[in-house]
């Protein structure tokens, strides 16, 4: 037996070979870890089978007994009630459910962490350096913190007893061992030399529950074991567990568990274990003092070296009931990829990125500016040739031929300044361009184009002047191509537009669509560290979109909306912290506005746009999909998950969405946090924003499933962290960059699951992480196919 010197009153560690331990009422909190061999543990309510590396927690005042195999090795750690209660006052009302073999999907890391901590406690004690007492207490507190924050349940039956009261210990132990006998409050009072009234007050004061209720809870708990593990009749079970009659048993059982004993048995029936009866044998254990025990402990430390280490994050529960779901379709807005000048499409790297986006995300529009740029449309050269052998539209045609072949349309941005700089020349050139495109590409293709008129940001142009220029542009475009869409960018702030833009409402019959932007970075002062300001940006994009739609509706205007520029908090990482991961924010915002917009705009990458602007630093107004070396940004992968989401929506909340597909189901979980991006440099702060989510889903079709879990977070898919880790003062070459691109992608975990009834699992989501579950139902093979295989 190992005891911890002066801490002996608080902790006790024992290594044993256990053949039998018979009928013990546990005092304190007991950890049982099987180092080798196996054992069967019987508690008040059920049986547990433990093999190598399995462990279980025994609660205070819980009756248990054990039968083990020959030559097993078991570690037992006991922690006193007084030690826990001095730091955790709610311990009296709490129980812990922690059995390593039955913990749901997603909890493997936490189970591994507890194993590792148990091994470290023993090794620390044996090492006995100068600070070992402090270290042991710290390790045990870590275990308790994991239990309290991850495995706690409100105790209905087991109440913490006052271990300083020896008489109460004796009374509760007597009730646990004799619950099946005709016990009464009067007989127990006589047995312990107390008056009946004093015993009643005594119980209520010490345990917070009356004597009769306490006894009934013990009997009900033991009855569970008979319901689950035997075929005894309900009447037999009621008699075997000390109830006066079957009706009394049924009524009390239903009151506590919410259903009748018969119904409970039908839902929860367990396979009968090898040992069903009470052991009723004398204890047979042997202490182990051999130094050989260090080897398996060291292996535990090695095996669990990379397990879960956070205990200060947030725990939450999500319950989904699919028995009567509401079905509705998810709208998929078109994607508009802004590349700057159309001539950039002639670059191989740009074409490559466009094709990647088209294949993996879906792409409808290519957003371009400066359509009449001289580098795209050459001036007419003087020549003595009767028929010119060169065309001013040669570069333009090379770009448009590529787009038409790939089924992509133009989304053309036209700035007021472009036109009025030389208005007559501009409209002359535009007419020539349209005539050429009609001749070469046909009216059907041009009818898929969009032209959006906008005014320079911050400029105040008289409404009459803006209206005149827009209507002239609208007339020319519609005259040439009736089906072409001509719209305007609508500056919108605080549920109103400025007077200088009021003409857009009056002339709305000539406006086919409205473009708008939504970027909360513009309303945040990043020099302020107060996080409350950043919380105000939550749902900014959804609310801005809804307000604009409502504003137009109040003006009796219903037009398609195109979100041409949008961004999540800290999108401009040039001026903030590039470590800040925002994948879930992108996906959530896209889902929030999907029903209300016809297209979502994206930028291709900053470096490309800055080169097109003579290498000037530009303000990042929208979401970029790529880094300058073609690495994929978080926004890219977030939209991959958006496209991957199929079927009909059957459940949706602010941070989850579930669909039913022809293959089964899909579930997306998001941990969305709008926080000051500078704080993401502090790992301690980030841990408090992580979520350990317990998910329970009712109503899934029973059967065999393959579960594909995609994990997208700062460790799986974010490129910036990999960039930092592999950087060097001597720079990065092609080999390092290609390696970063290769390893920066979401992770995939695959498991098989048979689902019958509720399906429960855990997901540990880091800050702004996405967990995407593809829950695919396995279709049974036909009889002939089974035989053939």
Report the CATH number that the domain containing residue 349 is assigned in CATH: 3.20.20.80
Which residues constitute the domain of residue 207?
166-268
* Tokens read off for 357: 């986006």
Residue pair 330/668 in contact by the 8 Å Cβ criterion: no
Is residue 619 pLDDT above 70, yes or no?
no
More confident: 520 or 470: 470
In the predicted model, is pLDDT for residue 127 greater than 80?
Answer: no
Report the alpha-carbon distance of residue 161 to residue 205 in Å, rounded. 11
Which stretch of 32-36, 157-161, 745-749 has the lowest confidence by average pLDDT?
157-161
Q: Predicted confidence band at 561 (pLDDT cuts at 50, 70, 90)?
A: very high
Strands, E assignment, 26-173? 29-36, 39-43, 47-50, 55-58, 63-68, 73-79, 94-96, 152-154
| 734 inside domain | no
Does 64 reside within a domain? yes
3-state secondary structure of 107: coil
Q: Give the lowest-confidence range in 117-131, 195-209, 243-257, 773-787.
A: 773-787
Angle of CA points 664, 668, 669, to nearest 5°: 140
In the prediction, which pLDDT does 786 show? Answer: 47
Q: What are phi and psi of 600, to 5 degrees?
A: -120, 130
Give me the pLDDT at residue 194, please. Answer: 87
- Give me the mean pLDDT over the 330-359 stretch: 93
Strands 485-489 and 450-454: parallel
Same-domain status, 108 and 205? no
* Residue-level pLDDT at 512: 96
Say which residues have a Cβ less than 8 Å from residue 580's Cβ, sequence separation at least 6.
570, 573, 677, 680
Same domain, 399 and 525: yes
Specify the pLDDT at position 744.
87
DSSP-assigned letter for residue 526: T
**Closest-CA residue to 147 (of 179, 105, 113):** 113
Q: Looking at the DSSP assignment, which residues form a beta bridge with residue 648?
A: 329, 660
The answer as to whether 623 is a domain residue is yes
Whether residues 399 and 478 fall in one domain: yes
User: Which pLDDT score, from 0 to 100, does residue 276 have?
Assistant: 40
Give the position of tokens 């001597």.
730
Q: How confident is the model at residue 394 (pLDDT cuts 50, 70, 90)?
A: confident
Would you say residue 414 lies in a domain? Answer: yes
pLDDT range class, residue 153, cuts 50, 70, 90: confident
Q: How confident is the model at residue 158 (pLDDT cuts 50, 70, 90)?
A: very low
Domain's final residue, options 590, 610, 633: 633
Mean pLDDT of the chain: 84
Higher pLDDT, 494 or 366: 366
Q: Which of 522, 524, 523, 513 is nearest to 548 (CA)?
A: 513
| Bridge partners of residue 55, in order along the sequence | 33
For residues 433 and 681, the model is more confident at: 433
3-state secondary structure 433-484: HHHHHHHHHHHHHHCCCEEEEECCCCCCCCHHHHHHHHHHHHHHHHHHCCCC
pLDDT confidence of residue 581: 87
- Asked whether residue 253 is assigned to any structural domain, the reply reads yes
At 706, the pLDDT band (50, 70, 90 cuts) reads very high
pLDDT at 621 over 80: no
Spatial contact of 396 and 441, defined as CB atoms under 8 Å apart: no
The predicted structure's pLDDT at residue 736: 84
pLDDT at 626 over 70: yes
Least confident of 175-184, 604-613, 652-661, 748-757: 604-613
231 and 147 co-located in one domain: no
pLDDT of 612 reads: 57
- What is the per-residue pLDDT across 254-302, written as a single tens digit (0 to 9) for each? 888 888 988 888 877 765 554 444 545 567 788 876 666 666 776 666 6
pLDDT band at 614 (very low <50, low <70, confident <90, very high): low
Task: Mark whether 132 and 13 lie in a shared domain.
Answer: yes
Please tell me the predicted confidence (pLDDT) of residue 154: 58
Among residues 281, 310, 339, the one where a domain terminates is 310
What letter does residue 245 receive in the DSSP assignment? Answer: S
Report the pLDDT value the prediction gives residue 475, as an integer from 0 to 100: 96
Rank 202-206, 251-255, 662-666 by mean pLDDT and report only the highest. Answer: 662-666
Of 183-192, 272-281, 565-574, the range with the lowest mean pLDDT is 272-281
- The CATH number assigned to the domain holding 261 equals 1.10.10.60
Tokens in use for 195?
């008056």
Q: Which pLDDT score, from 0 to 100, does residue 788 have?
A: 45
31 and 97 fall within a common domain? yes
Report if residue 148 sits inside a domain: yes
Q: How confident is the model at residue 611 (pLDDT cuts 50, 70, 90)?
A: low
DSSP element (H, E) containing 489: strand 485-489
Same domain, 509 and 436: yes
Average pLDDT on 429-451 reads 96
The pLDDT value recorded for residue 81 is 87
Is the domain of 19 the same as that of 111? Answer: yes
Domain containing residue 148: CATH number: 2.60.120.280
- b/e map 101-128, b = 16+ CB within 10 Å: eebebbbebbbbbbbbbbbbbbbbbeee
Higher-confidence residue of 157 and 149: namely 149
Task: Give CA–CA dist 84/31, Å, rounded.
Answer: 14
Mean pLDDT of 722-744: 81
Which of the pair, 692 or 671, is modelled with greater confidence? 671
| Domain contains 678 | no
Give yes or no: residues 111 and 245 share one domain: no
The CA–CA distances, whole Å, from 589 to 105, 424, 720 equal: 28, 42, 22
Top pLDDT among 27 and 584 is at 584
| Stretch 26-42: mean pLDDT | 90
Q: Pick from 11-15, 127-131, 508-512 the range whose average pLDDT is largest.
A: 508-512
Which of 633, 654, 674 is the last residue before a domain boundary? 633
Q: 606 and 559: one domain?
A: yes
Report which of residues 127 and 331 the model is more confident about: 331
pLDDT exceeds cutoff 60 at 519 = yes
Q: What is the DSSP letter of 105?
A: B
Has residue 187 been placed in a domain?
Answer: yes
- Residue 441 pLDDT > 50: yes
469 with 576, same domain: the answer is yes
Residue 528 pLDDT class (50, 70, 90 cuts): low
pLDDT for 783 equals: 56
**pLDDT value at residue 29:** 92
Give pLDDT, residue 383. Answer: 53
Q: So what's the pLDDT on residue 572?
A: 60
Instruction: Identify the pLDDT of residue 286.
Output: 81
Band (400; pLDDT cuts 50, 70, 90): very high
Number of domains in the chain: 3
- Whether the pLDDT of residue 570 is over 80: the answer is no
Nearest in space to 338 (alpha carbons), one of 359, 349, 362, 354: 354
Query: Can you give the pLDDT at residue 575?
Result: 54
The number of beta carbons lying within 10 Å of the beta carbon of residue 31 is 23
Least reliable range by pLDDT among 514-528, 643-657, 695-709, 721-735: 721-735
How high is the pLDDT of residue 760?
Answer: 92
Statement to judge: residues 146 and 7 lie in one domain: yes
| pLDDT higher than threshold 90 for residue 442 | yes
pLDDT of residue 119 exceeding 60, the answer is yes
Give, for 143, the enclosing helix (H) or strand (E): helix 132-150
């Amino acid at each position: 037996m190992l005891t911890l010197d002066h801490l002996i009153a608080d902790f006790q560690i024992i290594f044993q070979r256990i053949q039998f331990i018979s009928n013990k009422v546990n005092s304190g909190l007991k950890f049982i870890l099987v180092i080798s061999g196996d054992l069967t543990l019987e508690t008040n309510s059920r049986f547990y089978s433990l093999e190598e590396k399995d462990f279980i927690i025994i609660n205070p005042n819980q009756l248990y007994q054990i039968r083990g195999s020959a030559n097993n090795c078991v570690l037992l750690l006991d922690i006193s009630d007084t030690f826990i209660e001095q730091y955790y006052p709610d311990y009296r009302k709490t129980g812990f459910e922690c059995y390593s073999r039955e913990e749901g999907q997603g909890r493997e890391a936490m189970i591994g962490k507890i194993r590792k901590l148990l091994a470290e406690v023993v090794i620390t004690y044996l090492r006995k350096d100068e600070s070992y007492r402090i270290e042991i207490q710290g390790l045990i507190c870590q275990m308790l913190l994991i239990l309290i924050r991850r495995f706690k349940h409100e105790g209905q039956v087991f109440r913490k007893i006052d271990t300083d009261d020896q008489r109460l210990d004796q009374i509760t132990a007597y009730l646990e061992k004799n619950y099946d006998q005709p016990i009464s409050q009067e007989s127990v009072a006589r047995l312990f030399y107390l008056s009946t009234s004093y015993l009643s007050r005594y119980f209520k004061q010490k345990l917070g529950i009356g004597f009769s209720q306490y006894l009934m809870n013990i009997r009900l708990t033991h009855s569970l074991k008979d319901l689950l593990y035997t075929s005894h009749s309900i009447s037999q079970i009621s008699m075997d567990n000390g109830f006066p009659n079957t009706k009394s048993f049924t009524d009390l059982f239903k009151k506590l568990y919410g259903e009748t004993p018969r119904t409970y048995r039908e839902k929860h029936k367990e396979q009968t274990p090898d040992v069903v009866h009470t052991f009723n044998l004398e204890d047979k254990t042997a202490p182990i003092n051999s130094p050989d025990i260090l080897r398996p402990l060291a292996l535990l430390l090695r095996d669990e070296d990379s397990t879960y280490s956070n205990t200060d994050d947030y725990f939450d529960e999500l319950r989904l009931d699919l028995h009567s779901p509401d079905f509705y379709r998810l709208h998929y807005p078109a994607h508009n990829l802004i590349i700057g000048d159309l001539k950039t499409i002639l670059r191989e790297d740009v074409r490559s990125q466009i094709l990647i986006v088209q294949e993996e995300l879906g792409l409808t529009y290519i957003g371009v500016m400066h359509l009449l740029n001289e580098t795209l449309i050459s001036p007419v050269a003087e020549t003595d040739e009767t028929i010119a052998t060169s065309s001013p539209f040669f570069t333009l045609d090379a770009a448009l031929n590529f787009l038409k072949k790939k089924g992509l349309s133009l989304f053309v941005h036209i700035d007021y300044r472009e036109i009025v700089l030389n208005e007559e020349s501009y409209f002359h050139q535009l007419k020539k361009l349209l005539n050429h495109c009609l001749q070469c590409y046909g009216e059907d293709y041009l009818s898929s184009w969009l032209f959006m008129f906008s005014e320079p940001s911050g400029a105040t142009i008289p409404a009459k002047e803006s209206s005149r220029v827009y209507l002239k542009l609208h007339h020319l475009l519609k005259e040439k191509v009736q089906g072409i869409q001509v719209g305007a960018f609508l500056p919108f702030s605080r549920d109103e537009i400025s007077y200088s833009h009021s003409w857009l409402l009056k002339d709305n019959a000539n406006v086919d669509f409205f473009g708008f932007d939504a970027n909360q970075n513009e309303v945040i002062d990043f020099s302020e560290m107060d996080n409350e300001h950043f919380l105000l940006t939550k749902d900014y994009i959804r609310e801005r979109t809804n307000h604009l739609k409502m504003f137009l509706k109040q003006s009796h205007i219903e037009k398609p909306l195109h979100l041409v520029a949008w961004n999540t908090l800290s999108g401009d990482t040039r001026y903030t912290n590039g470590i800040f991961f925002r994948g879930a924010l992108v996906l959530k915002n896209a889902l929030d506005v999907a029903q209300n917009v016809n297209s979502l705009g994206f930028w291709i990458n900053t470096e490309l746009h800055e080169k097109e602007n003579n290498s000037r630093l530009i303000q990042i107004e929208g979401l970029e999909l790529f880094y300058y070396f073609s690495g994929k940004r978080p926004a890219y992968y977030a939209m991959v998950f958006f496209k991957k989401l199929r079927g009909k929506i059957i459940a949706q909340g602010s941070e989850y969405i579930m669909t039913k597909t022809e293959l089964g189901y899909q579930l997306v979980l998001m941990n969305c946090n709008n926080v000051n991006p500078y704080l993401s440099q502090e790992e301690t702060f980030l841990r408090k924003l992580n979520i350990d989510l317990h998910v329970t889903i009712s109503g899934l079709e029973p059967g065999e499933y393959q579960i594909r879990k995609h994990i997208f977070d700062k460790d799986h898919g974010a490129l910036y962290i990999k960039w930092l880790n592999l950087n060097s003062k001597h720079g990065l070459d092609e080999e390092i960059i290609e390696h970063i691109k290769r390893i920066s992608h979401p992770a995939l975990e695959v498991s098989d699951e048979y689902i019958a009834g509720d399906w429960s699992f855990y997901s540990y989501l880091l800050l702004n992480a996405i967990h995407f579950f593809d829950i695919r139902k396995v279709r049974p093979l036909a009889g002939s196919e089974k035989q053939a295989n």
